[in-house]
């Protein structure tokens, strides 16, 4: 298997993110999306994990299944909340035994349900240390261009992120909509002596109804972008909004590629069309 740290050392990467399906309908959609996007030859793909035994199994099955049924390089997400240290060690060993070498180490929100609890580890940096102790992983962490919602201020946020990233191999950002947010984040890390690769997360906004959800997920859509999407809706309806959202995301990618960005990471929401269109507009798609 290929380690993401090694891929980043060789040059720019292009990656996609999925979430494990909850039912047969979602499974069918995801299988089609994987086949569509596999043809684009991504550097790697990541699979999210919300916590709890059921979600953990879905993530594990999807990640390990990719090793045997596709040519994709998978990265498994893992959160430390609501798990004991022993449980996390067992999960990590199971991944290594299955041949998985790439891990996204996250703090995570406590899952709802019968297994609620804070767990023994409270921060992603502790999970990074545990993965290092197990050995064999290329470890990524999350970064928030607009600061983590629990951070008291920007300086504290950047200090914690720099300390976390110094122990990991790379970071992937939460999605954002203006290139200055990314370049500001990287500059803040550089000022703290951290130059590990930070992959920008790209999420196209393809409907007006998704705008409030973006804010709830931690990245508010800027007013200039809302105006463009509303203008598109007024002139052509939902399909025009979708096209405009893809165009805006493509413009952001072009701006990022004009800098020293180490790659692009696309949040697909288990759909392939928007990502494929952006890929094609950027000239990244294989003939």
Residues catalogued as catalytic: 17
Contacts of 185 (CB under 8 A, 6+ apart): 143, 145, 158, 173, 198
> 218, exposed or middle or buried, with CB in 10 Å at 0-12, 13-18, 19+?
middle
Rounded CA separation 284/40 (Å): 8
- Tell me how far CA of residue 143 lies from CA of 83, 149, 182, 239, in angstroms: 22, 11, 10, 32
End-to-end CA distance of the chain: 25
User: Taking the C-alpha atoms of 230, 233, 239 and 241 in order, what is their torsion angle to the nearest 10 degrees?
Assistant: -10
C-alpha 173 chain-centroid distance:
7
């Amino acid at each position: 298997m290929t380690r993401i740290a090694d891929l980043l050392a060789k040059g720019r990467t292009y990656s996609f993110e999925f979430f494990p399906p909850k039912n047969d309908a979602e499974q069918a959609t995801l299988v089609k999306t994987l086949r569509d996007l596999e043809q684009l030859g991504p550097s790697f793909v990541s699979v999210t994990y919300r916590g709890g035994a059921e979600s953990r199994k879905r993530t594990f099955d999807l990640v390990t299944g990719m090793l045997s049924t596709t040519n994709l390089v998978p990265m498994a997400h893992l959160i430390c909340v609501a798990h004991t240290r022993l449980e996390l060690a067992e999960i990590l060993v199971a991944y290594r035994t299955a041949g998985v070498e790439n891990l996204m180490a996250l703090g995570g929100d406590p899952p709802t349900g019968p297994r609620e609890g804070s767990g023994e580890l409270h921060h992603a940096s502790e999970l990074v240390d545990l993965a290092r102790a197990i050995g064999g992983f290329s470890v990524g962490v999350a970064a928030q261009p607009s600061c983590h919602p629990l951070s008291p201020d920007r300086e504290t946020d950047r200090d914690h992120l720099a300390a976390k990233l110094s122990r990991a191999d790379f970071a992937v950002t939460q999605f954002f909509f203006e290139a200055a947010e990314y370049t500001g984040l990287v500059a803040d890390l550089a000022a703290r002596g951290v130059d590990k690769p930070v992959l920008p997360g790209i999420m196209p906004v393809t409907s007006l109804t998704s705008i409030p959800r973006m804010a709830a997920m931690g990245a508010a859509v800027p007013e200039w972008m809302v105006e463009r999407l509303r203008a598109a809706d007024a002139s052509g309806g939902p399909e025009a909004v979708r096209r405009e959202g893809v165009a805006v995301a493509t413009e952001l990618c072009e701006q990022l590629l004009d800098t020293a960005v180490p790659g692009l990471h696309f949040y697909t929401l288990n759909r392939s069309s928007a990502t494929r269109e952006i890929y094609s507009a950027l000239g990244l798609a294989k003939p």
